[in-house]
Amino acid sequence: MDFRYTPEQADLKARAAAYSQRLMQYENESEEAGGPLPAETVRALTREAIDAGVFAINMPAEWGGAGLSLLDQVIVEEEFGKVTNCLWDIPWRPANVLAYGTEAQREKYLLPVIRGERFDAFAVTEPGAGSDAGSGSSTAEKTEGGWLLNGEKWFVTCGDVADFLLVQADAGPERQPTLFFVGKQAPGVRMTRVPRFMHSAVNGHPEFVFQDVFVADEDVLGGVGKGYELTKEWFTDERLMIAARTTGAAERALELAREWAVERRQFGSRIADFQLIQGMLADCAVDIAVNRAYTHQVAWEADQPGTERKALHAKASTAKLAASEVAGRVVDRCLQIFGGRGYDRSYPVERLYRELRVDRIWEGTSEIQRLIIANELIKRGTRALALPRH
């Protein structure tokens, strides 16, 4: 088993790192603005991402995407994770399930996203349905030529800048979970609130109300009743990307803390010479190394033909759970090394401290990840931990 990057992967990592450095130039501006950047800045950075081959990285090259494997995507997202203020949302990755659309849906929805002309957002969470996504109360009632959608969705990441939403609702009297394409300007769609969260993200996580929104039959994604399966597949990829980004964020925090510890002097010595500081630095390095290795392993497994999807779902949960929780501990130590400056919003380590907290919540809480992992163990034993045999 060869863990070395190929020349192509090394080049990809370098391009992603260079683009991330560009995004870092806008961190302070984003923080001072409370998140958003001017539209012309976002357009310019979007074009740069497309030119660098780090935009729509999860979409096939024949459609205009970067055509990267999951392992390659992890390499890119790890670099993106080093950027604060969620500026990694600018080099957009469309929802992976958009690839299951019909040719007409692809032309109407997906291809403009790949070109950076439109943006999508996934709407699953509701006021009464967070971790228990199956308890949603949004409904779609059949009508002539389509469906009437009613319900409410919360925490719709990037919903404020999206042109259309993928809305999960229960269709018909059988309440079959289904994904619908919904234009944000459609009659009956209202964005009611954009909550202010701990982090100052470049894009928001608004709440929406849908009241008798007409959705044509041709705007059902994947067929009636396929919503839960598609959402589960979306979660698998997103959890792997969270594992990659949080690993990258932890590495940036450690780089900053190490530089600070070497330069900062107290009691006549560098604080890096104090064993308590050395212990924190070492613990951070171990945490990052272990989680990078496992996240890369799971992404590599996902790219192998014949990989069992149920086992992969649990392994992605393992990666997300471990990396997100470890990153929180790493950044906490690094902030401590910085002392009072670590609590200053003008320092990246402070922003990382706030921003990483949500990674233990969105795309499935840490508790839900533990249930998924335990369920896989109970059903299939410890082979859920095994490497592929081929």
pLDDT band at residue 387 using 50, 70 and 90 as cut-offs: confident
Q: What are the φ and ψ backbone dihedral angles of 381, each rounded to 5 degrees?
A: 75, -170
| pLDDT given for residue 383 in this prediction | 78
Integer angstrom CA distances of residue 13 from 76, 89, 296, 320, 334 = 6, 18, 13, 21, 25
Sketch out the chain's domains with CATH numbers: 7-93 (1.10.540.10), 120-223 (2.40.110.10), 228-385 (1.20.140.10)
Strand partners, 189: 210
Q: What's residue 138's pLDDT?
A: 97
Q: In this model, does residue 308 exceed pLDDT 90?
A: no
pLDDT one-digit tens code per residue, 268-296: 999 999 999 999 999 999 999 999 999 99
Q: Residue 64 phi/psi, 5° resolution? A: 105, -5
d(CA 282, CA 120): 41
What's the mean per-residue pLDDT of the chain?
Answer: 96
What φ, ψ does residue 143 adopt, rounded to 5°?
-140, 175
pTM of the model: 0.96
Q: What is the pLDDT of residues 197-255, one digit of tens each?
A: 999 999 999 999 999 999 999 999 999 999 999 999 999 999 999 999 999 999 999 99
Q: What is the per-residue pLDDT for 311? A: 86
Percent of residues, the chain, with pLDDT higher than 90: 93
CB under 8 Å to 250, separation ≥6 — which residues? 284, 287, 288, 291, 323, 326, 327, 330, 331, 356
pLDDT of residue 131 exceeding 80, the answer is: no
- Residue where the block lists tokens 């995507």: 73
Give yes or no: 325 in active site. no
Per-residue model confidence (pLDDT) at position 33: 96
Q: What pLDDT was estimated at residue 145?
A: 97
Which residues neighbour 372 within 8 Å (Cβ) at sequence distance 6 or greater?
313, 314, 317, 364
Q: What are phi and psi of 146, to 5 degrees?
A: 175, -140
Spot the catalytic one: 251, 363, 367, 376: 363
pLDDT value at residue 1: 67
CA dihedral (233, 235, 241, 245) in degrees, to 10, reads: 180
Question: At residue 307, does pLDDT exceed 90?
Answer: no
Number of H helices, E strands in the chain: 11, 10
Q: What is the CA radius of gyration of the chain?
A: 21
Q: N- to C-terminal Cα distance for the chain?
A: 11
Q: Are 71 and 300 in contact (CB under 8 A)?
A: yes
Q: State the pLDDT at residue 20.
A: 98
390 has a pLDDT exceeding 70: no
| Residue 94, SS3 per DSSP | coil
Cα dihedral 374, 285, 78, 27 sign: positive
- Strand, helix or coil for residue 2: coil
| Amino acid present at 390 | H
Distance CA(218)–CA(107), nearest Å, equals 13
Q: Where are the alpha helices (DSSP H) in 97-216?
A: 103-105, 111-114
- Pair of tokens at residue 32: 């001072």
Look at residue 97 in the predicted model and tell me its pLDDT: 97
Q: Dihedral sign, CA of 94, 100, 104, 107?
A: positive
Q: Look up residue 41 and give its two tokens.
A: 């800045």
CA diameter of the chain: 80
DSSP letter at 272 equals G
Rounded CA separation 188/151 (Å): 10
Between CA 260 and CA 187 the distance in angstroms is: 54
Judge whether 191 and 159 are in contact, CB under 8 Å.
yes
Tell me if residue 136 falls in helix, strand or coil.
coil
Q: Are 240 and 70 in contact (CB under 8 A)?
A: yes
List residues bridging with 221 in a β-sheet. 179
pLDDT value at position 275?
A: 98
Q: What is the helix (H) or strand (E) element at residue 197, kind and residue range?
A: none
Of 161, 155, 172, nearest in space to 225 by CA:
172
Q: Which H helix or E strand runs over 49?
A: helix 39-52
Per DSSP, 158 falls in state T
Please write the tens of the pLDDT for every residue from 319-364.
999 999 999 999 999 999 999 999 999 999 999 999 999 999 999 9
Q: Residue holding tokens 């979007």?
A: 46
pLDDT tens for residues 42-62?
A: 999 999 999 999 999 999 999
